[in-house]
Structure 1
Amino acid sequence: MAKTIGMASDHAGYEMKEALKPLLKELGYKVKDFGAHSTESMDYPDTAHPLAEAVEAGKVCCGIAICGSGNGISMTLNKHQGVRAALCWEPELG
């Protein structure tokens, strides 16, 4: 059974999220997309909280969250117990 990865972004991270989805599927993962679903302006907490709740509940094995800088969405995710979000911008940090 394929593991499911949750993904969330705001409008600034939408295009990167969409580019990563087929790569994850190619690697054998299922992807649960919590949004954003376009480049229309929106707030990252609207997608970060549902992603974090899915991780906490075990509905997804882990998550990838993307916003303009990565800072805001990481801080929002880290408000949830059982979730540890890290800001990674270089392969060595992953």
Structure 2
Amino acid sequence: MRIALASDHAAIELKALLRDWLIEMGHEVADLGPETTDSVDYPDFGYKLAEVVADGTAERGIALCGSGIGISMSVNRNPKLRCALVAEPLSASLCREHNDANCIALGARLIGVDMAKACVTAFLETEFAGGRHQRRVDKLSNPNC
């Protein structure tokens, strides 16, 4: 799977660990930055991540910042993105199954590496259920549906 990752300065370490792990798992990974712990603005990286998922360059996105809150808000500014902030695997699975999430956000200051990997695994392995959920997902991008 083609996966894009982006973070702010607070999540550099977790992003690097997840990037390397995903590559080991056989995924094609695009690390959209940043590369250092110098202070950056999370919206810049959230917007960049949203753009590559929206245009199909990446199939899924993983957004990270200190809490996961700010970067998820910036990703969700793009009407083609459905980014869910998750902290455990059940939410990561349900956001795919019921909401067809194409991005998850993780809070690097709030989640450990093993839990982050469990969330990513659930997110990548769960299929969208469709059916009654489809009309709701359609309304996320077009409220007039």
Alignment TM class, shorter chain as reference? over 0.9
Percent sequence identity over aligned pairs: 47
Distance 1:60 1:46 in 2: 17
Alignment correspondent of 2:39: 41
Structure scoring higher RCO (CA < 8 A, sep ≥ 6) equals 1
2:16 is matched with which residue? Answer: 18
TM-score (norm 2): 0.61
Q: 2:62 — aligned with what?
A: 64
1:87 maps to 85
**Matching residue within 7, 10, 13 for 1:9:** 7
State which structure, 1 or 2, has the greater radius of gyration over its C-alpha atoms.
2
Instruction: Calculate the TM-score normalised by the size of structure 1.
Output: 0.93
| Higher fraction of helix | 2
In the TM superposition, residue 91 of structure 1 has moved relative to its aligned partner by: 2.1
Name the residue aligned to 1:75: 73
Question: What runs of 5+ residues in structure 1 fail to find an aligned partner?
Answer: none
SS in 2 for 1:82: coil
Name stretches of at least 5 consecutive residues in structure 2 with no aligned partner: 93-145
Tell me how far apart the structure 2 counterparts of residues 4 and 92 of structure 1 sit (CA, whole Å): 23
Q: Which one-letter code corresponds to 1:89 in the other structure?
A: A
Runs of 4+ in 1 over 4 A off after TM superposition: none
Say what the alpha-carbon RMSD is for the aligned residues.
0.8
Corresponding residue for 1:55?
53
